[in-house]
Amino acid sequence: QQHAGVVHSSNLCTEITLNTSHDEIAVCNLGSINLVAHLSAQSSGFELDFSKIKRTISTAMRMLDNVIDINYYAVDKARNSNQRHRPVGLGIMGFQDCLHRLRVPYASEAAVEFADRSMEMVAYAAYWASTELAEERGRYASFPGSLWDRGILPQDTLDILSAERGGYVELDRSARLDWERLRARIKQHGMRNSNCL
């Protein structure tokens, strides 16, 4: 939301950063899905069930979006911010439980690979759910001019960061899911929520 204001700080837990101004106070609308509940037994062991993740996240995003409308706001500045940007922060719990069930050591490359794979699924499903809500309920008010509106997804900001650092950002940027399909959907329907994760 850099086009709509300045991030002066984060919330106390620092998991989400939002704009604040003279007429807006950033508000956290947070939830988590239990990742271990999305492992399914396969002949080769346990695997993440992406279709189940998508269903759960679709429901979770709808619930978090509803919170914005039905919540009690002690001050108008909080209501203003939430109504204008509709930010939510969907996270996970049960990561260590997944590693335990998969028999993967926490401090291993396999754990890093699982984290990358699982969070790509969560991000994709959350962004997709927000486009569905946008199609049904409309885009968030400050969507025009946002990074989403300009076709820049969160992972694309790594290219911007790399350019600012003179080319040095050492990260695995590979993807397993059809991000181009999601980009097209965002271009067509927009996003319901300025922040999703």
Is 13 tagged catalytic?
Answer: yes
Nearest CA-CA partner of 68 in 43, 42, 86, 85? 86
Is 82 tagged catalytic?
Answer: no
Catalytically annotated residue among 13, 109, 164, 170:
13
Is 98 tagged catalytic?
Answer: no
- Answer left, alpha or beta for residue 180, where phi above 0 means left and psi between -120 and 50 means alpha: alpha
Residue 133 · residue 59 · CB < 8 Å: no
Catalytically annotated residue among 15, 47, 113, 136:
15
Catalytically annotated residue among 11, 28, 132, 135:
11
At position 189, the amino acid (one-letter code) is: H
- Answer left, alpha or beta for residue 151, where phi above 0 means left and psi between -120 and 50 means alpha: left
Question: Any idea which residues carry the catalytic annotation?
Answer: 11, 13, 15
